[in-house]
Structure 1
Amino acid sequence: MKNSRTLARLLGVMLALVLVGSSCSGDSKDAASKDGGSEAAGDQGASGNTISVPDDQPTIQKAVDAAKPGDLIMVAAGTYKEAVDVETDRLTIRGADRNTTILDGGFKLENGIRVLSAKGVAIENMTARNYTTNGFFWTGVDGYRGSYLTAYRNGDYGVYAFDSVNGLVEHSYGSGSPDAGLYIGQCYPCNAVIDDFVSENNGLGYSGTNSGGNLTIINSTFRNNRAGIVPNSGSYELCYPERETQVVGNLIYSNNNGDTPAIDVALLAMGNGIVVPGGVRNTIERNRVWDHTRTGIGLVPFLEEDANDNLPTEADWDIDCAEQKAKPATAPEDIENPLLWNPQQNIVRDNVVSDSRLADLGIGSVGTDLSDLGNCWSDNEATSTRPKNLQALAPCDGDKVGEVAAEGWDVDELNVASWLAEQDDQPKPKDYKTTPEPPAQENMPDAATAPAEPATNMPPKVDLDAIKVPEKPAS
């Protein structure tokens, strides 16, 4: 961490308080409403300096290079054909208009904006399109925020946070990525919130490999992807398994879209609303899920070939990411290949699920006693389950599985092994470069006048108990 001298820190905080106190409008968040999770909070505050692009600096990259921690970089409407790297803490990078302040990679540049280990960087109110990998990308950071972002026609992910903690992605949109419109991976505890994200026409709406721990997905829409929300475990990234993600109050529908780009995993997962390949201790509740060719909510295994490590024990599930990274590597000759990551101790309750062709609720595995996995289902509004009567077989008792039935798990089983055989029969991936331009998206309120707000004191507090099952949209 870059520590300021005591006097400089006090001056920065005092100036930030003046700025917040003098602001009577805007979409800035009340610092008192946030958890103090981010390490960047110790150096919080904005400097009050604004660098305008192109008036003060001709490019976004030059503005970033000239900026000091706490500065606001204000980017005018226009198309910027550049790939921006950010290594300065606590910058706020904001577009004047979300729909016309556009970073364009021309299908040659890799990332729109990439934040490299810089703490507390917020990116707001702009579009990134036509990059070969990612639109907006934070990697190795403590404290991040993406607000009112649009990412489409990018060759890997739209909005991407990797090996990063203490973050918020809100009021944003991702489309046309072969992997996922939104991805958070390799973090535990992640301490992150996804709020009001729309993901469509991707391979996966959301992907989260080995992420979790105070990771919350709320009030968002995942539609018309190959598959909707897909958190999974695997040793090909660190911090396994995927665990403790809360998926609450979202709309997930029609994720059977064969007219999208797609990686192999998206072909395998196609036709599922929420599917959890090998994830553990997740909570899925009060979502509205409908129109899927396979399952509305499915708990399934992930078969990993050429694994980098053996399966963690249940005791390892409580080890944080930093501790796991420090453990000695397993010798290749001692790794048991392939690995079967089973979904375990997940809670599925109070969801409204309908029009799923295989099952509204389902769990399946291969060569595994499903009753031993510790998953539970209660008070879901659903008309079909596999196995049959799933909610009676393993009801939830508070925040854990209740009394599990000894028999009945083999009645109308979910045959997930057949999905592997069906993978080659799925519609072939489309070229991400042909993804259509999305409709105009909502702009950040008062973008021209709101003060800088670095991503300190992340993530915001969330009142999960206040979230209800969302209504089905009229159209």
Structure 2
Amino acid sequence: MKKCHIAYLACTAALIGTGLGAAPPVAAHRIHVVHPGESIQKAVDSARPGDTVLLTYGTYHESVDVSTPGLTLRGVGRGTVLEPATAAATGSTAPGTGSAAGSGAVKGSKGSKGTKAATSCAASGNGICVVGTKDHNVDDVTVASLTVRGFAKTGVYATEADGLTVRHVTAEKNGVWGIATEHSVHGLFRHNTARDNGDAGLFLANTVKEELGATDTEGTVVERNRLEGNRIGVTVRRLRNLTLAGNHLTGNCAGVFVVGDENKPKAGFVTVRENRIVRNNKSCPKTARLDALQGSGIVLTGAEDSLVTRNVIKDNVGKSPLSGGIVLFKSFVGTTSDRNRISDNLLRGNSPDLVNTDTGKGNTFEGNSCRSSKPAGLC
């Protein structure tokens, strides 16, 4: 009996030693390869957190909804192209209509199962949608190395996303925004190209559906992107704690807009540094929300405690009230810009280089290399 007991203990020890008594190992992340003509959505729906959906070279006529945390949706470069499936599937939003892209997307993410196909973000005229919910963000999604082109609303759209990365994406000729986020934090947008979109190439906002104070992005970074031929290169609307660095903006009606309004807290604590902003002289007509645009480099309106520094801003010329290299402009709802610092920028050939038509307090212009200003004396 004693011998049997000893043998049992020895056997048990051997089992534990080989790991059979331990927790099972974590499943390896998988790569789901999709070829043109196959369903991207099907691969995304079958993926688990941490998986990669890899799109091979070619054109895909499809929109995609992503809600799996940790998913990477990646092409093999600009030759991986997503375009609308049919005209009917992309909706009927006209280029430049603005907030329509977001409202349909958020509503779709909360729709009932029976109507999901008809009301989802992707089915509403957007290309790639990364959609969480108000109570549960979708975390750590990456969209990379592909082109999204010709969608009625937005090329890449995200809402309720935490830690979204968008890199090496070309978003072109989309009706509203190239790449856009709402209600999102910790974003990283790097080495993207957004061109010839109806509104902003890159659009980051708290929300376009309701009036709310600015929200904290908790350190979102927009860097080393190329924005050209859009209405506005980059719009930062009612946000705080965000950095735009090392971007190249040209051929837009306006380069960078940092926009606030009368709600609390104000937009602010935005850093705009080391960008190259040249010849943003495309002419765009007035809209319900904004005056006609032409020749604007960087515009701050209704913003506070922001830093604009070490940018190169050249040859932005136009006849809009917002024209100029760097412009502080009192918001259209009467909110002032306060305590913004404009320092150490190189400005040449803008009309004029520096503009301050704001009546806010504590705004400073120092160390800038420029030749003309309104009012005089800012250079």
Q: Is the 8 A contact 1:159 1:174 kept in 2?
A: yes
Q: How does 1:283-322 map to 2 (within 5 A)?
A: 283-293=307-317, 294-304=323-333
- Given candidates 167, 170, 181, the residue that maps to 2:201 is 181
**2:35 aligned with 1:54, yes or no?**
yes
- Given candidates 151, 164, 168, the residue that maps to 2:171 is 151
Structure 2 CA distance for partners of 1:343 and 1:284, relative to 1, 3 Å: same
- Aligned partner of 1:88 in structure 2 is 68
Equivalents in 2 of 1:48, 1:229: separation in Å? 39
After TM superposition, give the deviation of residue 303 of structure 1 in Å.
1.1
- Aligned partner of 1:450 in structure 2 is none
After TM superposition, give the deviation of residue 270 of structure 1 in Å.
2.4
Give SS of 1:111's match: coil
- Given candidates 345, 354, 357, the residue that maps to 1:361 is 354
- Aligned partner of 1:254 in structure 2 is 279
After TM superposition, give the deviation of residue 272 of structure 1 in Å.
0.9
Q: Is the 8 A contact 1:177 1:261 kept in 2?
A: no
Q: Is the 8 A contact 1:190 1:211 kept in 2?
A: no
- Aligned partner of 1:65 in structure 2 is 45
Structure 2 CA distance for partners of 1:224 and 1:262, relative to 1, 3 Å: farther
- Given candidates 379, 382, 386, the residue that maps to 2:367 is 379
After TM superposition, give the deviation of residue 231 of structure 1 in Å.
1.1
After TM superposition, give the deviation of residue 263 of structure 1 in Å.
5.1
**AA aligned opposite 1:201:** G
Where does structure 1 lack aligned partners over 5 or more consecutive residues?
Answer: 1-6, 16-46, 305-339, 392-475
Equivalents in 2 of 1:175, 1:192: separation in Å? 21
**RMSD of Structure 2 on Structure 1 (CA):** 2.2
After TM superposition, give the deviation of residue 281 of structure 1 in Å.
1.1
Per the normalisation by structure 2, the TM-score is 0.75
**2:78 aligned with 1:99, yes or no?**
yes
Q: How does 1:123-202 map to 2 (within 5 A)?
A: 123-186=143-206, 187-202=215-230
After TM superposition, give the deviation of residue 159 of structure 1 in Å.
0.8
- Given candidates 231, 251, 260, the residue that maps to 1:224 is 251
- Aligned partner of 2:108 in structure 1 is none
Q: Is the 8 A contact 1:176 1:261 kept in 2?
A: no
- Given candidates 288, 294, 297, the residue that maps to 1:270 is 294
Residue range with higher mean Cα deviation, 240-249 or 116-125:
240-249
- Given candidates 347, 350, 356, the residue that maps to 2:341 is 347
Equivalents in 1 of 2:287, 2:251: separation in Å? 16
Equivalents in 2 of 1:256, 1:158: separation in Å? 19
Per the normalisation by structure 1, the TM-score is 0.61
- Which structure is larger by alpha-carbon Rg, 1 or 2? 2
- Given candidates 128, 131, 136, the residue that maps to 1:113 is 128
- Aligned partner of 2:260 in structure 1 is 233
After TM superposition, give the deviation of residue 212 of structure 1 in Å.
2.1
Pairs aligned (count):
304
Deviations along 1:374-430, whole A, 9 cap, x unmatched? 100110001111111125xxxxxxxxxxxxxxxxxxxxxxxxxxxxxxxxxxxxxxx
Deviations along 1:61-120, whole A, 9 cap, x unmatched? 111100000001110112111110011100011102x22111002554211110001211
Structure 2 CA distance for partners of 1:11 and 1:374, relative to 1, 3 Å: farther
Equivalents in 2 of 1:264, 1:177: separation in Å? 18
Equivalents in 2 of 1:285, 1:390: separation in Å? 15
**2:235 aligned with 1:207, yes or no?**
yes
Residue range with higher mean Cα deviation, 177-186 or 282-291:
177-186
**AA aligned opposite 2:275:** N
After TM superposition, give the deviation of residue 264 of structure 1 in Å.
5.3
Equivalents in 1 of 2:25, 2:372: separation in Å? 61
Q: How does 1:432-471 map to 2 (within 5 A)?
A: none
Determine what percentage of the aligned residue pairs are the same residue.
29
- Aligned partner of 1:319 in structure 2 is none
Structure 2 CA distance for partners of 1:286 and 1:211, relative to 1, 3 Å: same
Equivalents in 2 of 1:268, 1:181: separation in Å? 18
More relative contact order, 1 or 2 (CA 8 Å, 6+ apart): 1
Equivalents in 2 of 1:195, 1:262: separation in Å? 29
